[in-house]
Amino acid sequence: MAGLKAVLFDNDGTLVDSRELLLASFHYAGPAVLGRQLSDEEYLQKVGQPLAVQVKDYTDDPVLQERFCEAYRAHNKTVHDKMIKAFPGTVEALAELASAGLKLGVVTSKRHAVAWRGLEVVGAASYLDCCVGWDDIERPKPDPQPVVRGCELLGFDPSECLYVGDAPFDLQSGNAAGASTAAVTWGMFNEPVLTAERPSFVSHTWDELIASTLALL
């Protein structure tokens, strides 16, 4: 691929280190609603998809699913700003990519307002030209629709865009949309899980991602 015009990023696990925030919210909602605590691995296995999708693995009861989401979000809201942080080098990387003339955006399975709040808190929002949350689309990742919507908002064809994520669902969505994809290994999923989705390239550090991305210009 050459002629790259824009880069879209996943949020949690890619730009924002929210692992401890997510686990704190899960640890609250599990006992409060389900009466039991799941393992961290069970809670995190589908991070990258909407919470309403994830919770179906915890209980088949639609009422409990809704109560779990409500409890999770209520707790998350109380600790969000003090627990959320950018991965080291994130803001500097966004600044460098923006200065190279690339349009930047976020495509996330979080609600739009919550994701944008986090990006503001960590200092990343000012470099971003769009944000697509799960409440902005009809079909969440791994469907291609979220990435396609992000490309539309930035004004480019998916073939001119790169989607960067730390989850297999990110890469599935980006590949299906017709975008190039980059897997990053500092998030929630290990490298073999990511390479199985055949990303355009894998980056272990922000410096690697910047170099590989700028090579596509």
Instruction: Count Cα neighbours of 43 within 13 Å in the Cβ-side half-sphere.
Output: 22
135 catalytic? Reply is: no
C-alpha 59/C-alpha 61 separation (Å) is 5
Q: Considering only CA atoms, which of 139, 123, 140, 102 is closest in space to residue 8?
A: 102
Residue 179 in tokens = 């975008």
Q: Identity (one letter) of the amino acid at 105?
A: G
Q: Which residues, at least 6 apart from 178, have a Cβ–Cβ distance to it below 8 Å?
A: 144, 157, 158, 159
Catalytic residue among 10, 17, 136, 170: 10
Q: Considering only CA atoms, which of 78, 109, 82 is closest in space to residue 12?
A: 109
Indicate the angle between helix axes 168-177 and 145-154, nearest 10 degrees. 60
Instruction: Count Cα neighbours of 114 within 13 Å in the Cβ-side half-sphere.
Output: 24
Q: How far is CA 10 from the centre of its chain?
A: 3
Q: Considering only CA atoms, which of 41, 85, 26, 54 is closest in space to residue 188?
A: 41
* Residues identified as active-site: 10
